[in-house]
Structure formats: structure tokens, C-alpha cells
Amino acid sequence: MMSKAIDDNVLSNAIMGINEPLLLRIINEYVSNGSIAFLGPSGSYSHEVAIRLFGTNKPFRPMRSVGDVVKCVFNSDCGLGIVPIENNLAGVVGDSMDALIRWDVGIKYSVEYRVSLCLVVNEEVNDLSEITELYSHPHAIMEAMDFITRLNASINYTQSTSEALEKIKGHRNRAAVASKFGARLRGLKALMCGIEDRPNYTRFLIITRNKSTIGDRTLLIFSVSNRPGSLYNALKPFAEKEINLSMIYSKPNRQSPWGYDFLLEMECQLEDEDCNNALRQLGGVTTYLKVLGSYRHLRTE
């Protein structure tokens, strides 16, 4: 359970700067096994967020995919996991939604993080015209599409922006869309930064094995039958109780062709009666319902 003793302001400050005692408390209170899993290799945006939240020199565990991050937490091999869930320019992170459907975990925080994208090259490269191959995560590519279409380079997708950095090392015709932090870690050069099309924010979920009932947001995954009015009936209780919905995505599910799973975030906590009643009513009209618990939503700016 999330302790009420942790003050929001203290936590927000910990993200702006880095507040060691608080981080230790989070780890001690919520994490049985101290390792913190994120989408690796080192230098991804997920890693950057992990450092801003928990500080450096923590038992970080880079994983090959977001699916592996969620699975590691589900199996209790990792105490905490950091998972990108949506971006204001590129939408939902499909891999993360799939993993949250597949593995049953809880959420401790949601963190909105400003992502500044850089065009990263090898040290000796000074001119954009030298670049014929571009590497990055599909989301990062989408977030900088206006800039990328002006480059005369082929696009190559990677599991993460930091994996893209690994791919370009030693190849002067290759560039990556990645972070300055990731570039620095590898002795690569950020030729230009701020190449995203518009102000760019990614939301990350901090996941744990256990679920909480306290916070200002609650996340659900559900399916309804393919009949007129099913989705309307599912959402009606939230409208009636004036509960705002802050995120909704649908994705075809794997059980039946053209059946859909919905990922829904609502602005209420399970501790509250209205929230709980709306959820109970929703449960009456769904064919599948999974509650990932309540958590606090934080912004880094």
C-alpha cells in the first residue's frame, strides 16, 4: 500500500533535483527486491527517468523489452519497473499495453516527462549530408517526423533509442534519434537537439507487484461484447458520477478477431465510494475486467 506519509511536494522535488533520503524510503517501503527494471540498454529515456526518480548508483536492471520489464516485476525478480505508456505526439506504446494485459501488476506512480530528442552521430561527423541511415525506436521516429523527412536517410527501427546508439557506433554514415544523456554515455555526439516536431511528453508508469487503492488516477483494462451500446454502457457510470477519464485506448485483442481491449485511466481513487461504485457498475457490463490500482500522477515540469 502507498503510504500517505510521503508528501507530494517532496516527491516532485525529488524528480526536479534528486533527493536521496526520499528515494531510499520509496525503495525500502515498497520494494522487497531492490532492483529497478527499465527498457535498456543504458541511456534510454526510461533510464533517464529512473535516475531522476531514484538517483544514480541504484540496482538498475536494463531489459531487452518492456515486456521483459513487466514480466520481471510480475515474477517478483525486480522490485520496480519503469514502462513508457503514452506520448502526446505518437500515442499509446503498444508493447506496454500488451504487457500490462498479459501480466498482472500494480502501478505506484505515473510520471509525465519532457522528452528532448537529439540527432546523435559519431564524434568526427559534422555535416547532415554524411548521414544515409537513421536508427531509433518507432515512437521517437514518429515524434521527430517533420525533421526526419527532410533528411535523406533510410529509417531503421530498434527496441529503444539507446539500442539505436549501439547500432551507430563506429559508422559515420549512421545517426540515431536519442537522448544527449545516452550519447554522452557512449562518447557519441549530439549534433542537434530539440528535433521533436512539437513539445514532446512521454508518460511512464512506475509498476510494482502489489496494487494500491490510493492516488489521483486509477487504471483499468476491460473488454465488452460486440453489441450496440456496450461501450456506452461501460462508460456511463463515470459520466453519471462526474468522474473524468484521462486516457482511453483500444486495441484488437488476441482472443477473438475484431474483439477489443480498452485501456482506461480515470481521475479517482479506489478508496472513494463513487469511484468504487462506478467500477462495480462497469464490472456488470464487461466480458473482462482487470484493475491495475490507483496511483499518483506527477509532472516533471
Binding region for ligand PRE (CB under 6 A): 39, 44-46, 84, 87, 93, 115, 137, 139-140, 143, 160-162, 202
Residue with cell 457498475: 281
Q: Which three three-digit cell numbers place residue 276? A: 468504487
**CB nearer to ligand PRE: pick between 94 and 284:** 94
CB of 98 to ligand PRE, least distance (A): 13
CB of 204 to ligand PRE, least distance (A): 8
CB of 17 to ligand PRE, least distance (A): 22
Q: Is 222 exposed, middle or buried (0-12, 13-18, 19+ CB in 10 A)?
A: buried
**CB nearer to ligand PRE: pick between 197 and 274:** 197
**CB nearer to ligand PRE: pick between 194 and 229:** 194
Task: Kindly tell me the number of DSSP H helices and DSSP E strands found in the chain.
Answer: 11, 15
**CB nearer to ligand PRE: pick between 176 and 282:** 176
Pairing of strands 36-39, 80-87: parallel
**CB nearer to ligand PRE: pick between 44 and 208:** 44
CB of 52 to ligand PRE, least distance (A): 13
Q: Which residues pair with 231 in a beta bridge?
A: none
CB of 202 to ligand PRE, least distance (A): 4
CB contact burial 123-152 (16+ within 10 A = b; e otherwise):
eebeeeeebeebbbbebbbbbbeebbeebe
